Amino acid sequence: MAACINPLLADTILKVQKGKNMRLTPKSPEWFSEVEAALTVDNVDAVSWAYEADAIIVGLGGAGVACALQGLEEGLSVVAIDRFDGGGATVASGGVIYAGGGTAIQQAAGIDDDVENMFNYLKMETGNIVKDSTLRDFCKESAPTIDWMISHGTDLRPTLYPHKTSFPAPQYFLYHSDNSLISPYRDKARPAARGHRGYVPFEQGKKAMGLGNALFNPLLDSARKLGLDVMTNTEVRQMVTDTKGRVVGVKALRFSNDETLQAYLKVRGKASKLLSRIAPAIPGSGFFLKKARKLQAEAQAMADGREEIFIRARKGVVLSAGGFIFNKKMLEHYAPKYVGAYPLGTDGDSGAGIRLGQTAGGIADNMDRVTAWRFINPPLSFARGLIVNQQGKRFINEMSYGATMGIEIIENQNGEAWLILDKPLAMQALEDVKGDKALNFQRILAKIAVRFTSKKANTLEGLCEKIGVPIEALRREIEDYNGIATGRNNDPFMKTRDDAAEIVKPPFYAINVGLSAKLLPCSTLTLGGLRVDEKTGAVLNDSGKPVKGLYAAGRNAIGVASWRYVSGLSIADGVYSGRRAARAMAKAT
């Protein structure tokens, strides 16, 4: 029997290397950013400010738009600056926000949830990344946040998919986007569907990416109606501070020549079309990614010669420009294990927001923390098989959420893992994804995995020879696993009898679900960011004191989604932290 690793304690196994990120400056060889050192001015009023506002938001994604809208409701004037068109990783996502505690959508679907139950579950996922008081407040604000979004036109619906899945079929808009249906999680908190998908028409919903407009656009429309000033295709390169260290504005680069701007937008548009053609998990997506990146680099070259402008913030600057998963050099420095995975987000996730905060005295942390997504369900039959490492040992409940599985494979199994099936299970997997039972890319992946990329043999000995796994170890694991499927054994990883299937009928299949599975890309995004005051979102310096006039939200900040990931938690954290920063700025003197 495989040694048992308690999934609730698995993070104690991870060797998080803190400190590598502490006192970097633009002069450091590990800076890997075009962000410049902060500009300190003796006389703030003497600066030739092109624009002024109470609040400047750098990065108009989910966190930025929530901050802008809340700030406007608080009576602030707001300028939002985005390096590209706005929307960021939120728009590029599957359009899921994690919410609970008894949201209006949960209630309409008959879901029993409350704040304490949500807290009890998320505590298992977030560990000690934020204070319990912060996590509880996040849970307390969850249902009101959904009401707030609905009041601004967000279309959320209670059509429930009650089973375990990574992403539901297009007709479902409420689902379990986490581990809540499996033990030991369900033993500590009642299972409750908390994945709220923004409504999109059925045909559009057949893909799992590029659906975040359903959440983002209504908030942006409301913010514009309240007077939001949006500056797109404008890149913030430098923080401006006074002699006391207070952030008073930013320096940005913008196009002054419309002809150059239009040429730039045309090339970037071609790149965006390439990226939207195919989901990251589809074989061949790497080709489209490389081609898109080449076009993006071509567009960036057109940006040389932009004019400098200075924008003043009377109340504060909010950094909400995303993570750094698309900055390969930063990723190699902080989290080299994840370089071979597929970056999830947009090329705006360059780490610029984090670097801007550091130049003003902020401290970044958790920078080696990355989430890796190894989803195998749908098809459900894949998750009823067993996953082993290169030593032939099981190490996880195969029904676990994809990010739980991905982090375990990369951090603790050397990035290597095999999914083992027999013929009935493999054939049932293909049946599981027929028609409207799954999304198009899920169906394609299942077919490719079974028909083309799997290793197959009529004996376990033959299979082990093909994949380099010790036969005696795998034979013992399968014997024990078959005992779980028939009710003779209890699973040390707490998988139920109904969730397991006997592996008995040849041929036997082995599907590579490790990081090296190029035709089954493992999607990743970074979770590190700036340390913030958890009551206000103010960026903290190395003494733990707030940097005056500077706030961070979303993936620019350490937050609820900065330890372990479940679907929709990053957007939920972004909305929560963005609104928090806006409220704090409104009260600031």
- Which has the closest alpha carbon to 431: 395, 384, 364, 374? 384
Residue 83 is predicted with a pLDDT of: 96
Residue 276 has what pLDDT? 67
| DSSP helix/strand/coil, 370 | strand
Q: Where does the pLDDT of residue 109 fall: very low under 50, low under 70, confident under 90, or very high at 90 and above?
A: very high
Domain 375-512 belongs in CATH node 3.90.700.10? yes
Cα separation, 137 vs 502, whole angstroms:
44
Confidence of residue 12 (pLDDT cuts 50, 70, 90): very low
C-alpha span between 429 and 378 (Å, rounded): 8
pLDDT band for position 2 (cuts 50, 70, 90): very low
User: Counting every residue, how long is the chain?
Assistant: 589
- Do the domains 18-93+212-256+306-371+523-587 and 375-512 sit in the same CATH topology, yes or no? no
pTM across the whole model: 0.93
The pLDDT confidence band at residue 57, using thresholds 50, 70 and 90, is very high
Please tell me the predicted confidence (pLDDT) of residue 422: 98
Return the number of other C-beta atoms located less than 10 Å from residue 431's C-beta: 12
Residue extents of the structural domains in the chain: 18-93+212-256+306-371+523-587, 96-206, 257-305, 375-512
Tokens encoding 61: 């994604």
Mention every residue, 6+ apart, whose C-beta is less than 8 A from residue 72.
78, 223, 226, 227, 228
Task: Kindly state the tokens that stand for 376.
Answer: 């195998």
Which pLDDT score is estimated for 589? 80
Instruction: Tell me how crowded residue 488 is: count the other CB atoms within 10 A of its CB.
Output: 10
Half-sphere exposure of 352 (CA within 13 A, CB side): 23
Q: What is the pLDDT of residues 419-459, one digit of tens each?
A: 999 999 999 999 999 988 888 888 888 999 999 999 999 99
10 pLDDT tier (thresholds 50, 70, 90)? very low
Mean pLDDT over 239-259 rounds to 96
What's the CA gap between 529 and 517, in Å, rounded?
Answer: 29
Dihedral sign from CA coordinates of 525, 526, 532, 534: positive
* CA 544 – CA 13 distance, rounded (Å): 28
- Report the CATH superfamily, name and number, of domain 18-93+212-256+306-371+523-587: FAD/NAD(P)-binding domain (3.50.50.60)
Do 375 and 94 touch, CB atoms closer than 8 A?
Answer: no
Least confident of 12-26, 110-124, 153-167, 525-539: 12-26
Lowest mean pLDDT of 23-27, 210-214, 374-378, 389-393, name the range: 23-27
Region 501-530 average pLDDT: 93
In this predicted structure, which of 29-33, 338-342, 410-414 has the lowest mean pLDDT? Answer: 338-342
Banded pLDDT at 314 (limits 50, 70, 90): very high
- Is residue 559 predicted with pLDDT exceeding 60? yes
Check whether the bond before 507 is cis (ω within 30° of 0). Answer: yes
Between strands 386-388 and 370-373, the pairing is unpaired
pLDDT tens digits, one per residue of 93-108: 999 999 999 999 999 9
pLDDT at 120: 98
